Every structure is written in structure tokens, then in C-alpha cells.
Chain A
């Protein structure tokens, strides 16, 4: 089985802080990481490889420094790594991003495409389903479990608000995976040495994919960010450092004042 995992390099948003004086984001010193849901997706692919001997390709679209997460993926066990990078991709919204990735995926043999459910910088959850649609391939999102019959049938657990569903689909298929369901393995020492010293990363530019340039980058993006801003801070109420008894008095009178009790 040939599996392609789409991964993205993202700023670790849990490390981003706001400068209280200017109200702007402090991005300096924020580490770049492999997006957690994507890492869960890579783990799914590597588990299938462990059991069935799959060949795993990782691909990312991004600037040259996104190479770091491809090396990390190889050190975890991926067999092939592709960096899709070109200034023509810059400014892409989710639709333009999915057009570029789908173009690349058409040129990579695959039985299964795995993406993370969503990336922590944008939280849109759009690119996986959009890729599937461009490739006319069936897709299951919010995947929390994957079984394979060793031939061509996948039995997939999909989480929803009420519980979960069990779904069946034949390959080729696209799955978007939840990080919470798959704990990623660590890189091995041998894997790290190989990934950083001996393995090549393939660089693909826009020429390598067969997609109309009007569908790529800023020009191919139907949505535009008109304005961005940090949220106005709410005016804080009073904070009391008092005994538990006094604290209870304060809370009870507040609840009465607001007619909660």
C-alpha cells in the first residue's frame, strides 16, 4: 500500500502571547512544530506500515524552512519526503492550498491520503476535504480509528458530537485524522541520523504540478483577509484575597445580584 501524508509546519500557538502594551502578537521565539493532527496522521500511516508494509510519503507545502518537519517525519519512519515550495503558492487561502496539494498528489502514486483534521494556526479543517474533492476521492473526516483488511477495505471510526460512527470505504480514500486518537512515536536515533545526514528531500515547484496558475496562491484564493486585530480586553472585575467564608459571602451575593439564585 502506498500512503501519502500531508503535513504542515505551524507556530506552536500555545506559546504565542500578546503584548499588553501594543495589543499585538509576540511571535518572536515561538517554536515551529509539526501540526499535531498531522503528526497523528503520520502515526496512522506508520502503524499501517508496521502491520502491512506500506510505503509512506510525506509532503508539505511551505517555505524552505518547512524542510525541518519533513526531516522529523523521516526520522519517525517516513520513506519519502517532498517539499512543495514556490513563490507562486504564496498568499494561498484553503482553496488555493488544496488546489496546489491536489496537483502534487496527482503526481504521487497513492492508495491512501492522510491529512490532519485541522492545523492549529488556522483551525479551518478545510484543506483535507477540499483535496479529496479535487481528486474525486471519497473522504472521511474526524478519524479516530483505522482498520485495514490488508487488501483494499478500510473500516474507519469517525468521532462526532454524539459519540462515533463506524464507516467503510475502499481505497483510494482520503482520511483527516484527530491527534487525540493517535499518540505519535518518537524519532529513533538511527532514524534521526539517516534523516539528517543521508536522506534527500525532493523539492517541487509549481512547474512540477499540472495546475492552472489562476488557481494558485493569492490569485487563486476566493477569500481575502480584510482586517486582523487582537481582541479588545474585557475590563476585569474585582479580585479578593480573603478567607473561604468571606469568599463564599462574596460569591453568594454576586449570584443574588445577578438573579442566578
Chain B
């Protein structure tokens, strides 16, 4: 393989119902940083239907070029349709690196493409760097977050990785950025479109994705039950935040999976993470320890969560949380 013919960092920017997903913008920000080290361009791959008018947004968040395929076949994500489009884009433009969000889409598309293109894929990266030899160094957690591994793909191209949402930082939007938009029309082999989308059902959430919340009030085994989580909910409301949960409470059926923080849940980095009744298993820490401020309340003074907390309080949350909520409401109303 002649590696020198492969150039530029491509970012697959996913859209759902025509809405650009934040992880795509986060990846553009990271790609921009890496591209400066390499002296290469950031190219967004943008697939969907009736989405062409949003290309400038991607440029303002760091893309130098946008390759857009806008056609009915690509309206909703389907593995084969998207894989055909992107493998044709790769064959024509020969990217050196492709980044995907580690979402249900990216973690379905990435491995399919890695097998189709016979190249390596590193999953769920939390850190991307460029080596002295200008190779991509991809760092990811393994063994349930117990171990970090730095992985490289030096003999094949493109180098591919999925990156967890919430890990990389978006660039500040810059409306003055200019870039090129290239329309690409894939030549589909529709005989391979074997999976049919019958319907999409949105779970009624009525709340923000926890990865986007600035404040998370998170509960674990020590909170125990729905009534306990209601106390957390009241505090979250006062702080204009969301309630999240450890795996134990999701497994117990008390909280839904989409608010689970940790290795098998979501990675969060809010401004404030309140860990209440969470002992701090390593899997949980892997998902929240990058938070700016961590405050832990736990009855057990030896709980590992205190090892990552900026402030730890030993005590009964049933007493502390309502009292705290009352005080905060007073403080905020007096402002």
C-alpha cells in the first residue's frame, strides 16, 4: 500500500432527522487540531436527504471542505446504504484518517467499513494524537475502563477510529470561516439493500441528553429507589441540571439506560457532577472523572468515589439533599 497517496482527515458527521449531531462537531474540532500538525485538510462527510443547506455550519465548526451526498436513499441511517456511499468516497478521495462518533450509528458503520476496506478501526477512543512519524495514535479504555491502550494502524489506510461523544471539544463557531462544498452522488447497488426500516420510535424523554447537561445530579445504589431519585430530581431542577444514574440503578430497573453514566453507559463531563450514593466502581469513574467539579455524598467514608471527588461529604443523602435544595433555592432567589 502506498501510504503517501492517502491524505487529509475525514470526519463522518452524522445527522438524525436532518439534525447535525453534536459529536460530529466535536470531531471536527479535534480534526482541526490534528490537521494543523499534519499540514492537511479537514473534510466532513455529510450524508442525508435535504441537508445540503447545512454544509456551511460544518465549515464554521472546523471543516475545510464538505463532501455532501444528498439523496433519498440516505435520508435515514441504514448500514448498507451508508457503507456504499462512504466506501465510494474513500475510493475517490483517499483519506488518511476517518473519524466517526462512537454512537449506535458510528459503531455500526465503522466496523462494516473496516471490513469492506480491510483496514483497522479503533473503537471508543478518548484521546487522539499524532506521532513523530505522523501516524495517528488512538487511546482507548479496555477491560471495563481498568486499562488504557494506545493503538496504531501504521500499515493500512485509512486509519479509522470511533470517538465517544462528549470527549472532544467543539471549536467556537466562526461564521467567517470559508470552505469548499463538493457534491458527491454515490452509484448505489440497490440489490444489496436487504434491511428495510419499518418505523422509528422516539422514546418520550422530555429531557436533555445527559452528555449535554452542564449539571448532573447522579444517584447510585445508596439512593436505592424511585422516591430517592425524586429528591435528586428536585435538586437537579434547582441547579438547572439533569438526573443521571450509575449502572446498579439501571440494572435494578429504577432508572432508564439512557441516563447511565460509565463505561457501558455514557461519558459525561459537566461543569458539576454530584455523585450521590455512588460508591465509584471503576466502570463508573471511567464515565465521569473528567467532570470539572465533582462533589460526592456517601455514607461510606471509604467509598472509592471520594478518590476522584473535589469535595466529599460523609453522610445520609436523605438528610443532606433536601436541606441543600432548600438552601440553594434561597441563595438563587436572593441573587
Interface residues of A (CB under 8 A from B): 11, 13-14, 16-18, 25, 93-95, 98, 120-130, 132-134, 138-142, 155, 158-170, 173, 180, 221-231, 233-234, 236-245, 247-248, 250-252, 254-255, 258, 260-261
Contacts and interface: CB of A to CB of B under 8 A. Distances in A.
Given A162-B203, A167-B196, A168-B198, A236 B309 contact: yes
B146 A169 contact: no
A240 B147 contact: no
A11 to B, nearest CB: 7
Contact of A240 (B199, B289, B313, B327): B313
B148 A169 contact: no
B57 interface: no
Interface of B: 16, 79-80, 83, 103-105, 107-108, 110-112, 114-116, 118-124, 137, 141-144, 146-156, 194-203, 209, 215, 239, 257-258, 263-264, 271-272, 281-283, 289, 292-295, 297, 301, 306-316, 319-320, 323-324, 327-328, 331-332, 335
B194 A252 contact: no
10 contacts: A16-B144, A94-B111, A163-B201, A166-B197, A168-B196, A223-B151, A240-B314, A242-B313, A245-B323, A260-B293
Contacts of B282: 16-18
A92 B271 CA distance: 40
B154 A224 contact: yes
A145 to B, nearest CB: 12
Nearest 4 A-B pairs (CB), nearest first? A13-B144, A222-B120, A239-B312, A133-B115
A25 B143 CA distance: 9
A252 B198 CA distance: 51
Contacts of A142: 104, 108
Given A230-B147, A244-B316, A252-B324, A141 B16 contact: no
A234 B289 contact: yes
A158 B271 CA distance: 33
B142 A165 contact: no
B147 A141 contact: no
B272 A129 contact: no
Nearest to B108: A141
A162 B108 contact: no
B323 A161 contact: no
Q: Helix, strand, loop or mixed for chain A's interface?
A: mixed
Contact of A130 (B111, B271, B306, B319): B111
Given A95-B120, A240-B313, A234 B307 contact: yes
Given A133-B116, A163-B200, A167-B195, A226 B137 contact: yes
A230 B319 CA distance: 37
A3 to B, nearest CB: 18
Contacts, number: 248
A133 B151 contact: no
A226 B104 contact: no
A13 B295 contact: no
Contacts of B121: 94-95, 126, 223
Given A166-B201, A252-B331, A126 B258 contact: no
Residue from A16, A160, A247, A252 with most neighbouring chain B CB atoms (10 Å): A247
A260 B143 contact: no
Nearest to A249: B327
B292 A162 contact: no
B112 A123 contact: no
A132 B143 contact: no
Given A168-B198, A252-B328, A255-B272, A223 B144 contact: no
Nearest to B201: A163
Contacts of A228: 142, 147-150
Given A94-B111, A130-B114, A248 B103 contact: no
A125 B123 contact: yes
Nearest to A139: B79
Nearest to A221: B120
A40 B105 CA distance: 21
Given A165-B199, A260-B271, A236 B146 contact: no
A168 to B, nearest CB: 5
A124 B100 CA distance: 13
B306 A16 contact: no
A25 to B, nearest CB: 6
Nearest to A137: B194
A226 B221 CA distance: 38
Which of B103, B107, B153, B199 has most chain A Cβ within 10 Å? B107
Contacts of B272: 255, 258, 260
B94 to A, nearest CB: 16
Given A14-B283, A132-B112, A227 B313 contact: no
Contact of B313 (A126, A165, A166, A247): A247
Given A133-B83, A258-B293, 6 more contacts: A25-B146, A125-B111, A161-B258, A236-B312, A239-B314, A251-B311
Contacts of B215: 260
Given A124-B123, A139-B112, A223-B120, A254 B295 contact: yes
Given A126-B111, A244-B315, A251 B324 contact: yes
A141 B107 contact: yes
A250 B313 contact: yes
Contacts of B144: 13-14, 16, 120-121, 123
Contact of B263 (A123, A227, A233): A123
Contacts of B103: 160-161
